Structure 1
């Protein structure tokens, strides 16, 4: 059986203890596969050494797309297709009527950014309807934290390090099964 299919699960009951354990495990140069928590833990991504998310960049791009769609849509509808005199606002030039269109531009910018970000997040996270949960221990949805690390050649040493970091339970799991 291959060593690479084995992982060690360390269960913690406190997020501060988990943060200290992550720093200790990283200092020992062990690879952390995943951490499962019942709630977001501030600073955990940085402690794990994860790259910053690019979701903010996509939010900006989606907002710009929404602004362009709003501008093109309003120019076509209110100026080209069916110009109307509404409250004395000019209907022969988009630029002159633009102050009246600012709320629509804002709303479509936010709409596109929010909705496309959610869709991007779900696709990137591989979350879709009827997807089976990948959570290895049901307790992590309530009040426990689970650190999953790759099992190395010296498993006893890894067990000792994890127990010394405050893990209440440490088990070796074969992911092949």
Structure 2
């Protein structure tokens, strides 16, 4: 059995890489991931990637922040230590709006940063995980899981037909920068 975990097709041009994706999909070869040094418009739809759920997470964090702020203000200013300031009511909602808004934004910002770190595995101090170091500089990489049913030679030929400059057989999942 081969120790190859991934077959990498390296391309110089994004259009050739998109052609490679199309040819692989025509031959029913599942693509593990695509790495690019720049954003490519429409590649998510081509790969069948679902729409992000980060908006839902932001909404939940915002609701949590607003609820916490409003609850704290109510507890501190109305229930625990009410003050009679010029005969105004203790529970004046317009007074609560600025602080509640700021806490909503604060919870959303911090929650989204933590969610981003969790989703991308890019915690501070951790080495980035990339398939090929040139994918961050000047190459477009298609990674294919080699443990499928299709022979490796067929995948290599399809990638070369599509315009791959180089086809690599990786025995490790990621390459480190060290």
TM-score > 0.5 by shorter chain: yes
Match of residue 164 from structure 2? 167
CA RMSD of aligned residues (A): 2.5
Describe the shift of the 1:121–1:26 C-alpha distance in structure 2 as closer, same or farther (beyond 3 A). same
When residues 39 and 91 of structure 1 are mapped into structure 2, their CA distance, relative to the original with a 3 A threshold, is farther
Q: 1:158 aligns with which of 147, 151, 155?
A: 155
- Contact 1:7/1:174 (<8 A) preserved: yes
Instruction: Verify: 1:116 aligned to 2:115, yes or no.
Output: no
| Structure 1 gaps, min length 5 | none
Instruction: Give 1:85 deviation, angstroms.
Output: 6.1
Deviation digits for residues 38-94 of structure 1 (CA, Å, limit 9, x no counterpart): 2332322221122322211111111111110111011122323444467x683422x
**Taking structure 1 as the reference length, what is the TM-score of the superposition?**
0.82
Q: Which residue of 2 aligns with 1:70?
A: 69
CA gap of 1:126–1:85, structure 2 versus 1, over 3 A, is: same
Unmatched tracts of structure 2, length 5 or more: none
Relative to 1, partners in 2 of residues 1:90 and 1:25: Cα closer, same or farther, differing over 3 Å?
A: farther
Normalized against structure 2, the TM-score is what? 0.82
Query: CA offsets, 1:102-160, max 9 Å, x none?
Result: 22222211211121122122123323233232212211111211111123542222112
Is 1:147 aligned to 2:142, yes or no? yes
